Each structure stands twice: as structure tokens, then as C-alpha cells.
Amino acid sequence: MKKNFLIIFLLSVYSIIFAISEGNFIISSKDLELPGEYYDGNNYFWRADYHLEDLKEATDLNIEIHNISDDSTVLFFDEGNNEKKNWKYIKSLLDNAKKFVWIAIYDVNYYPFIKELKELKNKNIDIRLIIESQNINSYISGLKKSGILVKYDKNYKLMHNKFIIIDGYCVITGSTNFTNNGFGYNSNNSIIIFSNELAQDYMNEFNEMYNGYFGKNSIDNKPYKKVEFDSGLIEPYFTPEDDLTNRIIKLINEANKKIHVMIFTFSKRQIADALIDAKKRGVDVKIIAEEYQSNYNWAQINYLKQNGINVILDKNDKTFHHKVIIIDEKITLTGSFNFTNSAQYNNDENSLIIHSKYISEVYEKEFERLWQKYQK
């Protein structure tokens, strides 16, 4: 009797799954008690919360990483100091892929990553890569020869995204290109979020580009404008279809105590003016900027300094590549978006606005560490 009841219950659950899965949206794991994996149309997905428990049991990383919560992790790269441990963590996520790994990254030449993708392909994992057409290299050609699906952007500007999606539950993004410089020399950050809802947003964006729609041909097709997770709430942004510039300005205008910025390229006068206005109303505004980029006439760094903003330049011999704003130690922006017209109106870019004091605290600590380092 109990066995029959269990069978009926499971069948009813699966009927609910298929009934509300039309439109290829991933079901929120918060709404239903589902098995560890499930079908959505013809696709096979893993629930984020199930995978996390499985990963804890199956993976002994034995490294120090910024585990903010069960569903979020932050990695920092700085002149090669964290290269091996960060790669070990990312590799552990890729090794656990069961069905697919989709990648949209501006530049790729990091050999351990290239090797990993080939090994995953040999395990029949669906590997797809979208890359900026200016960055074709022998490694990418080798991936194509091994049977990996590679597409180059059709944007006359840049496909500047930096994200990876694993099995519809995990998103890896931030400022990091998967290159030797990105991992071994530059100052960068990566954030890993385990969320079926966020993954669906990124899958939609990936499919849009994979089908040939780049830049100004992009559309806003996010099913989830806001995503809740253990640490707080996320607003995903994809430009040029989303107005991220004005959202940034609004957040700056609402700041009460502190705005700390780490930025590679800064040419957007409207954002500079918003920071100056914040300074005038008593907000502590500090900026760490890439030295080389700051020397151009279009750069806003001298303008900011002339208007009383405390700015220091990086001392990394390679590149200070962050694109981060931390506001009042509770909101953090990160992703591929530099403060430029091209990032807003032309390039394909991805960013997260993260409402979380826990994640902001980790980014704030890295900002303070670099501020002290570059002041010496």
C-alpha cells in the first residue's frame, strides 16, 4: 500500500514538472521538492541545491577559497598569487559536469582550461564556446579539431562576456578571461553562483549569441530579473539590451556612506559625475584604477582627481582588470562591464548587481588589501 502511494506521489510530481516546464524555463528549486535531476523539455538539468550536497561529499579541495554561502564562492587573482588554488576549484566544478558546459569568454588561451575542455569532450560532455573573433588562436583551432563547437562573434565591436554555465545550475563569471595573463598575472575576480534561475538567464543569453544575435541585435529575454540566493539577491544585466549605466548611477545616487571602485577602463562621464556628487554629499569615494588606461585623454581619472575624488593607480606590471563597485558594504557590481560607451551600447557584456553584505564584505576586504598595497 505504501509502495503504491509512493509511486502515485512521484508520478504526480513529475506531471507537475512537465506541466509547468513549457517555454524551456528551469523550475525554481524553492517551489517544488524535486529529485536531484529532472527533465525540462528535451534537456536534462541538475538542481543547484542537490548538486551542492553531492559536491561536498565527492570533492576534497583542501584549499582556501571565499565560500560565502553554500551557493556562492568568490575567487581573486592577483599577479599569479592565487592561480593554482583558483584553477583547482574551477576544475573541480568542470570535472563534475554531467551534461554540458557552455562558455562565452572574450579570450581563451589558458592551457589547463584547454586541456580540461578536451577531456570533458572525450566524456561526451556537450562543450560549446563563443569567443571574440579577434582572439582566434591555435588553442581555439585545436578545440575545433577535437570536435568542440566553437562560434565567433558577429559583433562589429566586442563579444566581451566572461561566463561559463555548467549543467543549468552553476554560473561562473566576473572579470577573468581564461588566459595565461588572466590567471597568472592580472588582477581579477571570479564569482561562482549555484542557481538554476540565474543559470537560465545566462543560458538564454548564450543561446541568443549562439544563434547569431550579437550587440545591438540582442534582446532582453531574461525570465528572472531578480534572483534570490542564500546570501541575498542578484540583478543580472546583459548589455547592450539592458541599461546598466543608469542603474549604476541610481545606485551611486542612493549611497549613504561608502563607494569603493576597482576599474580597468573608465571613460563614462555620467558615472564620474555621479561619483563626484556622492563625494560632495559626504560619501567616502575611493577608486583604484588601471594605470595604463588612465593615461588616455578620454579617461575620467584626472577629472575625478580634480574634483576631489581619492584615486590611486595600480602597480601590477601586467593589468589591473577588475570592473567592481562596492556600495555601503552591502551592494557589489562585478562582471565584464567597463565604464564606457562601448560597454553600454555596442559590446556584448554581462554583469551582476549583488545585494549581499556577505559578498560585499569579501570584495571590500580585497579592495582594502589592494589599496594598502598600492599606497606603499
Q: Which of 279, 321, 322, 355 is catalytic?
A: 321
C-alpha to C-alpha distance for 312 and 129, rounded to whole angstroms: 37
C-alpha to C-alpha distance for 37 and 24, rounded to whole angstroms: 15
C-alpha to C-alpha distance for 223 and 204, rounded to whole angstroms: 9
Q: Which of 305, 328, 357, 373 is catalytic?
A: 328
Phi-psi region of 310 (alpha: psi -120 to 50; beta: other; left: phi over 0): beta
DSSP 289-320: E-TTGGGSTT-SHHHHHHTT-EEEE---SS-B
CA atoms within 13 A on the CB side of 79: 6
| Cα distances (Å, whole numbers) of residue 56 to 45, 50, 59 | 19, 10, 6
Active site residue 357: no
Active site residue 321: yes
Q: Which of 66, 222, 323, 355 is catalytic?
A: 323
Active site residue 348: no
C-alpha to C-alpha distance for 25 and 54, rounded to whole angstroms: 23
Give the residue numbers annotated as catalytic, written as ranges. Answer: 321, 323, 328
